[in-house]
Amino acid sequence: MAQATLTPHELTLHGHRVTYRTAGRGPVLVLLHGITGSSQTWEHVAPLLSARFTLIAPDLLGHGQSATPRGDYSLGAHASGVRDLLTALGHERVTVIGHSLGGGIAMQFAYQFPERCERLALVSSGGLGPEVHLLLRAAALPGADYVLPLITSSRLLGLGRDLGGVLRRARLAPGGDLQVLARGFASLDNTGSRQAFLHTVRAVIDPGGQRVNAHDRLRLAALFPSLIVWGERDSIIPVAHGAAAHAAMPGSRLEIFPAAGHMPHDADPDRFAAVLTDFCHTTDGARLTADHWQPLLAGGS
């Protein structure tokens, strides 16, 4: 049977264009990309997963081909947007997989909407410790609004090559991660995308690093089957964050890809698809209610 590639769609939610890609048939996997990314982040692994799963990969608001409104780009707002998309498409319960920023959104989705989340998979996830790449911390600095149009101009970037050369010479990122950063900044080619990027970064990062940290709630993740995947050579978010999260999430599964950087699902899509498929097939999806946290919160936990 031929394996499907991701097919683009769009709809309007709350007056804003939301684009998303779908493929396959079976239990639903929601694939959430990282900052400056898009649903195309998953294009190499999607054909391997679509034989067994329904894939839904949105362009988060402010990213890809989705709208870039002036508004709320917090993790909570993104999580609500994912919930609204799933509601519009008629999907009740899903396994949510988040890469980088998408990992933080996935955790927030599970916390805000436990009744919609069956499993949680974090891929080189944000929100698990302060350390993060210097360029992302720099975006939180005063004045970044004025510098960003200069370093993301098509003339200067040359599709990311010039920025890549700068990063290489400054030793700010090794091979694969350098290209991730260069492509991401090259995608910020208009005022709307740049402003959405800055609002998104500043919602979770300040000049000292990541300021949103899920560690005080990771114990709750024991109620969801949880998978953590990381690239051992990740220079954007260190692999130590994954190990620490694994220790704090009882029953979680940790997979380290030795030759991968910040994009383990792209560096080794065959292994990623095999690991994710095995995780889904060997775990029972959670069945929680919308008010599941109430006894814990009422007890001061």
Catalytic-residue membership of 100: yes
Q: Minimal CA–CA distance to 257: which of 244, 280, 275?
A: 275
Type and span of the H or E element at 18:
strand 16-23
Q: Distance (Å, rounded) from C-alpha 242 to C-alpha 55?
A: 24
Q: Which of 262, 265, 266, 268 is catalytic?
A: 262
Catalytic-residue membership of 262: yes
* 1 three-class SS: coil
Q: Which of 38, 50, 74, 100 is catalytic?
A: 100
Catalytic-residue membership of 145: no
Q: Which of 59, 177, 234, 268 is catalytic?
A: 234
User: What would the two tokens of residue 35 be?
Assistant: 């900052």
φ/ψ region of 77 (left if φ > 0, alpha if ψ in -120 to 50, else beta) reads alpha
Q: What is the dihedral of CA 50, 3, 265, 205, to 10 degrees?
A: -50
Q: Which residues are catalytic?
A: 100, 234, 262
